[in-house]
Amino acid sequence: MGSDDANTILRMASLVTPMALRVAVTLGLPDRLREAGAEPDELAGDLGVAPVPLGLLLGHLTTLGFFERTATGYRTTAYGENLCGDTLTSVLLNLDTAGGRAELAFVELLHSVTTGEAGYDRRYGRGFWADLTEDPALRESFDRQMTHRLRAEAPQLAAGYDWGRFATVVDVGGGPGTALAAILAAHPGTRGRLVDLDVSTAARTFAEHGLEDRASAVEGSFFDPLPAGADAYLLCDILHNWDDEHAGRVLARCVEAARPDGRVLVVEAVGGRRGRTDMDLALLVIFGGRERRVAEFRSLAAVHGLALEGVTDVSEGRSLLEFRIT
């Protein structure tokens, strides 16, 4: 192996830049330096950090183009503005948010590959979902993360499938309600109900879209009995967060609640189709899950009396698998 190859591999493996970006976002540096520049000594006093190390951090990120030196100190560049504001990028990089905290579990990747278990539990002493339950701030940041993730694709999801064939849809684990709101807005003849452990954000989402007469939200776990008798049960970005045992339990609850001719609709990235290999590892480390392939979905669902009717690519990143009850 040549020295150029070795250096390339070492740069790929280095944790310096990924952690430097996360620390900068957590400290709020891109927003703080967006308008007027400042020197490390001044910033350090405002932020309560040590000035010399802060200068080292800014120096490295300046070499990468996120900041620049000006007459008044360091200032965020146009490129660095991608780290500003309430965006998916900033939410995922901030170490104080659910997403940023979760990615630190990658230090336990060896454990996850060895055992198939989530590294998050090993690092923090409890699972990701238990963490969100115990810490409202983490839960709020996770809802923002999901809103950002779905905002661009929700209209595609609503337009890419014939939701209008269903009079009632239950969004199981629907979080902030972004997906269900888009579906109901595009299909005025459909009514919806959302089930999640925390439905305060979903209620606001429905109100913002003027859907209070057709959408409601009820607190509950998808491991417990679900609202019964709906035409379709939607699982959007749910099953990939769980191992086969727990994913099967969610499917079983949907089958139990659905009408005899009802449908279970799984929307997420499918391995080998829309799924990404880096997300496979992230889901493994954080949840012990993965982006399943179509054959894996078919086998998992069959155990619970579901037959795969078809697969539709409904957005740039997600596919919809339609299951009927056999």
CA distances from 72 to 63, 76, 79 (A): 18, 12, 19
The verdict on whether 187 is a catalytic residue reads no
H or E element at residue 30: helix 29-32
5 phi and psi angles, rounded to 5 deg: -65, -45
Q: At 259, which amino acid appears?
A: R
Residue with tokens 């690092």: 123
Among candidate residues 245, 237, 235, the one with its CA nearest the CA of residue 303: 245
Q: At 291, which amino acid appears?
A: E
Q: Which of 148, 187, 240, 304 is catalytic?
A: 240
Question: What tokens does 58 get?
Answer: 């800014």
Residue with tokens 């002493």: 125
Burial of 280 (C-beta count, 10 Å sphere; 0-12/13-18/19+): middle
Query: Beta strand 191-196 with 168-172: parallel, antiparallel or unpaired?
Result: parallel
Three-state secondary structure call for residue 22: helix
264 phi and psi angles, rounded to 5 deg: -115, 125
Among candidate residues 269, 267, 240, the one with its CA nearest the CA of residue 322: 267
Active site positions, annotated? 240
